[in-house]
Amino acid sequence: MKKLLLFTTILTLATFSYGQSYGSGVGVKSITSGGPFGGFGINYKASIGGGSALDLTAGGGSNHFAAQLLYEWQRETGWTNGLDWYIGAGGTLGAWSSKYYWNTNKYYDRGFFLAADVVFGLDFNIEPNTGVPLGFSLEAGPSVGVINSRGFGINSAFAIRYIIN
């Protein structure tokens, strides 16, 4: 059993050991969700080595502010230069300032919310193919409300980033 666990760990680390096709990028990210906390924000994504990246988005929408931090494992797809796939996990923390119904039994004036997020996505850096330092990403995944948020939902996001390095 220990050998199987060791083999699985080594295989997993080898699978995720490839890095993303750029060091860091800054741009905008739109977030769509089934709840009232969709919107857009300023996005910064940076490689932290070993095929891992941190993705931070801060922004909001109508009468709310939110910040999301994701830890992502990224790997090349092999289909074309600059096209990577990734999986990530993290959380969203925010606050709202107007009345809304978040389910049929509760009505809140203002407050804060916390959610746990998992994402699956594609990240495409077009610079290797065109010389233009732009990156695009598209992601989706489940979100679980922890405090003052819906119990379960599916979120999706689209980002456009200027590739810094």
Identify the residue with better confidence: 8 or 53: 53
Contacts of 6 (CB under 8 A, 6+ apart): none
pLDDT for 34 beyond 60? no
For residue 108, give Cα distances in angstroms to 93, 98, 131, 157.
Answer: 17, 8, 49, 26
Higher pLDDT, 97 or 2: 97
Q: Which residue has the higher pLDDT, 133 or 34?
A: 133
Is the confidence at residue 43, as pLDDT, over 90?
A: yes
Strand-strand pairing, 152-163 and 134-147: antiparallel
pLDDT at 159: 95
Mean pLDDT rounded to a whole number for the chain: 80
pTM here?
0.77
Q: For residues 63 and 144, which has the higher predicted lDDT (pLDDT)?
A: 144
pLDDT exceeds 50 at position 10: no
Q: Residues 85-123: pLDDT tens digits? A: 999 999 988 887 766 555 555 555 677 888 899 999 999
| pLDDT interval class at 1 (50, 70, 90) | low
The whole-number average pLDDT for the span 57-64 is 82
Interval 38-61 mean pLDDT: 89
Domain 18-163 in this protein, CATH class: mainly beta
Q: Domain residues of the chain, as ranges? A: 18-163
What average pLDDT does the segment 22-33 reach? 84
In this predicted structure, the answer to whether residue 30 has a pLDDT above a threshold of 90 is no
pLDDT confidence of residue 145: 84
* pLDDT for 125: 93
